[in-house]
Amino acid sequence: MNRRDFNKLMLMAGIVGSTGIPLGIRRAAGQTRGGTLDVIIQPEPPVLVAAINQQAPTLTVAGKIYQSLLKFNFDQTPRPGLAKSWEMSDDGLTYTFHLEETVKWHDGTPFTADDVVFSTTKILPETHARARGNFARCDSITAADAHTVVFKLKEPFGPFLQCFEMSSCPIMPKHLYEGTDYRNNPHNAKPIGTGPWKFAEWERGSHIRLVRNDDYYKPGQPYLDEIIYRIVPDAASRALALENGTVDLTQWGDVEMFDVPRLKQLPHVEFTTRGYEFYAPLLWLEFNNRIKPMDDKRFRQAVMHAIDKDFLVRKVLFGLARPATGPMSKATKFYDPKVKIYDFNPAKAIALLDEMGLKPGADGKRAKITYLVPPYGEVWMRFAEYIRQALSKVGIEVVLEAIDVAGWATRVGNWDFEVTAPWLYQFGDPALGVSRTYISSNIRKGVLFSNTSGYSNPKVDTLFAEAAVAVDPAKRQALYSEVQRLLVEEVPVGWLVELDFPTMYDKRFHDLVVSAIGVNDDFDQAWYEG
C-alpha cells in the first residue's frame, strides 16, 4: 500500500483530516529505478515533433523525446547535451561541436554529425521560424567527421550557443526525414528521437504515454519507468487532480494562480518557480504607438506612474511575479538594474498628462482607451480590471474588450488594437528574445510577437545590431546597458511584471527541475523514492 492509498483509507475511517500524515522517509543516498510520473499537459499538443510545431505543450512533451546539442544551467551557461564539448574560434566566427559517440536513435540507427547538419540546414530552416533566422547567420555548416560539426558564421553572433537549446534546435533523424514532405512524414505520428523517453501511445483527448529508452547513452539512466501526460482541459479539475494525487506534476499555467497558494501548502506537494529562466516571461502593457495619445511618451510615462506594480504582484498574481523595471528580465544576462525606476505616483502621472495638454473634460476624463484582454484565463481579466481602476484615478478611462485566442492573435498581429498585455519569452539572450519587440526592421504587419507596438528609433536599432555581433561580453554589456536606459526613458511599452510560473510536484519525485528550461528538459535524471 502506498502512502496515497493509506491516506485514503485513513480519510475514509475519519482518522486523519485533510492534512494527512508525512510517511515519506527520505532515502539517504542515490537514485532508485522505477516509478511512473503522471503529468498534466494542456492544451493537447497537435503533434509531438518539436521541429514541426513549437507550441508550449508540444515542446514540453517533445523535450523528452528529442534533444539538442546543449543544455543550460539555471544561470544559463551551456553544459553538454548531445555535444560533449565545443569550442569557439577567437574571432567568434567558427563553432566546433564534438558529439557524444554512443547515441542511438530510438529505431537503433546511430546518431551522427550528418543528423545535425541535416537538421540545421534542411528541415529546421523549412519548418521552424526561429531556427530559420538563427541558422541563416551561418555561412556553412559541415560535418568534419562522424562526430564533429563545424558552424561558420557570416559575422559574429553573441548568443549563438543559445540557439542550441532544445526548443530552438531539436535534432531530427536524417535517415527518416531526408527527401520527404517534412510536415506529412509518417514518422510524425510515431516520433523517433535520441532522448531518454520513447513514444509509446497517444490516446487523443486522454493521454500520451512515454516509456524508458533502455538504449539511452547515459548508463543506468533514465531512472523512471514511464511518463504519462494526461490531458485535463478544466483548470479546476487540474487543481483537484494534483490535490488528490491523480497527477504528480503541474507546470506552466496548468493551475490558475489563485489556486497556487492553497495547493503549495499541501503536505505532499513541493513548489518551485525555478526552471523558467531561459524563457523568463516578461509582461507589459503594449501601447499601439501609432494612435493618440499613446504616441506621446509622456502619456506612456504617466501610465507607468499610475500603476502600482507591487499591488499587481501581491493581489492579482498571488506573488507569482516580480515588478519589472525595463525591457530585460532580471533572469537574463545583460540585465541592468541602473535604469530609471517609475515609482507608483499618481500625482506625477497627472502632472505629465497636464503637461502634454490632456486636460480633464466635463466628465473628469482626459482620454479613453480600449484594452484588449488577453484570452488566457481568469487572472488576466482581473489584471485588466486593476489597470482600468488604476488609470481611472488619473483620468484615463479604460474600456475592456474580451476576445478569444484567435481573435486576439489576429487583431494584435494586424495592429488593430489600442492597448493589450502580452508576455514574451527572452530565450536566454537579448538578441534572441528582446530586440524583436523594439527594432524597426521587425515591424511586420500580420505577424504576432513582432514589433507590433510600432516603435521605431534608429539609435535603438543600431545599439541592438551592434550588441548582437559583438564578441566581447563586456562590450555587449555596455551596449545593452545603453539600450536599456534609452528604452526605459522612452517607454515604447509599459513593462509591468516578470512572471513566475509555478511548478508543483509530489515530494517523492526528485531532480525534475534541473536546468533553465525546467519541465521542458528531458528528465533523464529524475527519480522516484518509492
Partner 1 sequence: MYQAIAAAAARLVKIAVMILVIATFNFLLVHAAPGDPAAVIAGQSGASDEKLIAQIRAEYGLDQPLHVQLTDYLAKVASFDLGYSYRQRQPVSVLIGERLPATLLLTVTAFLLALAIGSLLGTLAGMRAGRWTDTVISVLALLFYAMPVFWLGLMLVLIFSVQLGWLPAFGFATIGPNLTGLDLVLDVATHMILPVTTLAAIYLAIYARLMRASIIEVEHQDYVKTARAKGASRGRIIRHHMLRNALLPVITFAGVQAGALIGGSVVVETVFAWPGLGRLTFDAVMQRDYPVLLGIFLVMSVLVIAINLLTDLITRIIDPRLARAG
Provide the binding-site residues for partner 1, judged by CB under 8 A.
8, 11-12, 18, 36, 38, 43-44, 46-47, 53-56, 129-130, 132-133, 183-184, 188, 203-207, 209, 228, 230-234, 236-237, 240-241, 243-244, 246, 404-407, 409-411, 413, 425, 436, 444, 446-450
Q: Which C-beta is closer to partner 1: that of 53 or that of 301?
A: 53
Q: Which C-beta is closer to partner 1: that of 167 or that of 288?
A: 167
Q: How far is the CB of 27 from partner 1 (least distance, A)?
A: 24
Give the alpha-carbon dihedral of 393, 399, 402, 406, to 10 degrees: -110
Q: How far is the CB of 124 from partner 1 (least distance, A)?
A: 12
Q: Residue 449 CB: number of other CB atoms within 10 A?
A: 16
Q: How far is the CB of 269 from partner 1 (least distance, A)?
A: 14
CA distance 395 to 307: 13
Eight-class DSSP state of 109: P
Q: Which C-beta is closer to partner 1: that of 12 or that of 362?
A: 12
Contact criterion met (CB below 8 Å) for 209 and 201: yes
Q: How far is the CB of 140 from partner 1 (least distance, A)?
A: 22
Q: How far is the CB of 509 from partner 1 (least distance, A)?
A: 17
- φ, ψ of residue 164 to 5 degrees: the values are -105, 25
Q: Which C-beta is closer to partner 1: that of 227 or that of 493?
A: 227
Q: How far is the CB of 324 from partner 1 (least distance, A)?
A: 19
Q: How far is the CB of 206 from partner 1 (least distance, A)?
A: 4
Residues near 353 by Cβ (< 8 Å), separated by ≥ 6?
A: 298, 299, 302, 366, 367, 394, 395, 396
Cell numbers given for 178: 531526408
Residue of 415, 492, 481 lying closest to 448 (CA atoms): 415
Q: Which C-beta is closer to partner 1: that of 181 or that of 363?
A: 181
Q: Which C-beta is closer to partner 1: that of 127 or that of 515?
A: 127
Q: Which C-beta is closer to partner 1: that of 97 or that of 380?
A: 380
Residue 251 C-beta-side C-alpha neighbours within 13 Å: 26
Q: Which C-beta is closer to partner 1: that of 230 or that of 274?
A: 230
Q: Which C-beta is closer to partner 1: that of 249 or that of 470?
A: 249
Eight-class DSSP state of 110: B
CA distance 439 to 455: 8
Angle at 211 between CA 205 and CA 213, to 5 degrees: 145
Burial code (b: 16+ CB inside 10 Å, e: under 16) for 124-153 equals bbebbebbeebbebbeebebeeebbbbbeb
**Helix runs in 307-424, H state only:** 309-311, 346-355, 378-392, 405-413
Q: How far is the CB of 117 from partner 1 (least distance, A)?
A: 22
Cell numbers given for 328: 530585460
Q: Which C-beta is closer to partner 1: that of 228 or that of 391?
A: 228
Contact criterion met (CB below 8 Å) for 400 and 298: no
Q: How far is the CB of 121 from partner 1 (least distance, A)?
A: 16
Contact criterion met (CB below 8 Å) for 191 and 177: no
Q: What is the DSSP string of 118-132?
A: HIIIIIHHHH-HHHH
Q: How far is the CB of 247 from partner 1 (least distance, A)?
A: 10
